[in-house]
Amino acid sequence: MKIDVTYHALLARRMSNLSHLILIALGGLLLVGLKKILDSRSRQKRGPYPPGPKPKFLIGNALDYPMNGAGHHFMEVGAQLQSGLVYLNVLGNHILFINQKSIADDLLEKRAKIYSGRPQLPAALAMGWDTTNVSLMDYGDTWRKHRKVSQQHLNKRKTKSYEPIQQRHLHKMLHRLLHSPEDFWQHSEVLSTAIIMDIMYGYQIDRLDDPANAAALKMLELGLPLVMPGGALMNVLPFLRHLPSWVPGNSSGKAVKECGFWTREMLRIPLEDLAKRMKEGTATYSIVSECWEKKGTADADLEAESVLYGVTWTMYAAAMETTVSSTTCFFYTMVMHPEFQRKAQAEIDKIVGTNRLPTFEDRPSLPYIEAIYREVMRYAPPLNIGLPHASREDDWYDGYFIPKGATIFANLWAMTRDETIYRDANAFNPERFFDEHGELNDDDQVLAYGFGRRVCVGKYVASATLWITIVSILACFNIEKAKDEYGNDIEVNDEYVDLGLTMHKKPFKCRILPRSEGARQLVEDVIVGERK
């Protein structure tokens, strides 16, 4: 099967399928909606729900959920209602958007025992994601086992041991930018998966059409729309997952089956590659190889090995969607704000100099780079409404009733654009993270990594990867608007593509030029040195 692995093509296909998927699902919702509504009305109402759009007869708020741009939409709805909470009843399904960080802290952090569940989607179960994707697992013993293994390998201390891997792949990216800067988007995509695949399996990815990369892209193209609100009819009619795809109304069945295949391929390819390299004696250190080396010893843990496969799969899939989103956002903001770019480069030149490339040891001494990192993550959080939480029991908050089983979204888009916290929030400005004395302020919680017990376990790896990418590119290159054939600037669009779960910058062109001949030589020399 031929796979188009360009990220631009992936965005286009997912955009074209989005409206169709949601309309199909809405039709199915009507089949069961009346029963759910009547059932809910037959039960005693526990109390007032939080404010929300006025429901319509029978279908409730089914038409109030936008096909895209949910974060921005429900931020505006909350502003109109003058509420930090927005409640919807979609055919008997309770959905709650949290628009204020203080409320997210109260519910998702302080009451994490109640709000650490995940909605269980039949489409995810049918694709096998319930046993492979830690992010989608419901709160319980299985999730705890996966979380424990994740923390063992991805905690702050352990992450430091991965820094040589991150720098090596970043240096490769710098070399690619030097020789084919026009392909910066593709270089960002390769980097986003190369680092995590090396850490997890010792698997080397140097091109976008690598078999493992291609399988992962195909899996995401097919699978992500199916776990979106309204993405698959079987999420409303669970019995459909057990029926053939040709059964009327089960249009998502074929996509689920195909996605399941690519999910297994994504796991198989790097594991078989690692087994081959270990047999040949050429394997480098990786998390999985370390686990395999313990086989047959007193330290062996077969259950932990199985759990580890789910952790590695999750990290791989997450990196593909989020790291590339943040990296391309960085390129975009530097094109649009050369004043911030120049200040950052001045800091690098002062602290690092021009005779070497930056390292992780420089991070505490580069506050302006840290501010740019924070602002990139604030300005365009990859998961703009986060992954959904699920309430595990009835609860009350500020006089409002939140029922057991409600789906809870932390609206990161609204929180990062809260004008009471971030003045002129729609503008990109890293200097908002400095106090009146010119020191970094204490606003160092990156909301994009989530809340409570479901916070992203790979946040230390993700933070390190994005930081070393930002500082290294700024040390070596100037990022400018592209020129047309007459030497005029090509204006850059300011649009983002919202795919429901993730948000990406709409493709654009720019010029990436070495800052000096010395910078060019640094990039060439570091690659030569690492090849020896």
Assigned domain for 2 exists: no
Which whole number is the average pLDDT over 383-405? Answer: 94
- For 77-132, write each residue's pLDDT tens digit: 999 999 999 999 987 889 999 999 999 999 999 999 999 999 888 888 888 777 77
Q: What are the pLDDT digits (tens) for 472-526? A: 999 999 999 999 999 999 999 988 887 667 788 999 999 999 999 999 999 999 8
Q: What per-residue confidence (pLDDT) applies to 237?
A: 66
**Average pLDDT of the segment spanning 33-37:** 48
- What's the CATH number where 79 sits? 1.10.630.10
Query: Mean pLDDT over all residues of the chain?
Result: 86
With a cut of 70, say whether residue 26 has pLDDT above it.
no
Measured at the CA of 185, the angle between CA 369 and CA 496, to 5 degrees, comes to 80
pLDDT tier, 25 (very low <50, low <70, confident <90, very high otherwise): very low
pLDDT tens for each residue of 42-66: 344 567 999 999 998 878 888 888 8
| pLDDT above 90 as % of the chain | 59
Q: Is residue 27 part of a domain?
A: yes
User: Contacts by 42-49 with C-beta closer than 8 Å and gap 24+?
Assistant: 46/394, 46/401, 46/403, 47/396, 47/399, 47/400, 47/401, 48/399, 48/400, 48/401, 49/87, 49/89, 49/94, 49/400, 49/401, 49/402
Q: Please check whether residue 354 lies inside any domain of the structure.
A: yes
Q: What residues make up the domain containing 335?
A: 7-531
295 exposure class (CB count in 10 Å sphere: 0-12, 13-18, 19+)? exposed
Q: Rounded distance, CA 67 to CA 498, Å?
A: 9
Q: Which of 348, 314, 3 is nearest to 137 (CA)?
A: 314
- pTM (predicted TM-score): 0.89
For residue 379, being part of any structural domain is answered with yes
pLDDT confidence tier of residue 529, bands split at 50, 70 and 90:
low
Which position has the higher pLDDT, 265 or 367?
367
pLDDT at 90: 83
Better-scored residue on pLDDT, 461 or 93: 461
Burial bucket for residue 336 (CB in 10 Å: 0-12, 13-18, 19+): middle
What's the total number of domains in the chain? 1
pLDDT band at residue 236 using 50, 70 and 90 as cut-offs: low
Tell whether 456 is in a known binding site: yes
pLDDT score of 229: 59
Tell me what pLDDT residue 27 has.
46
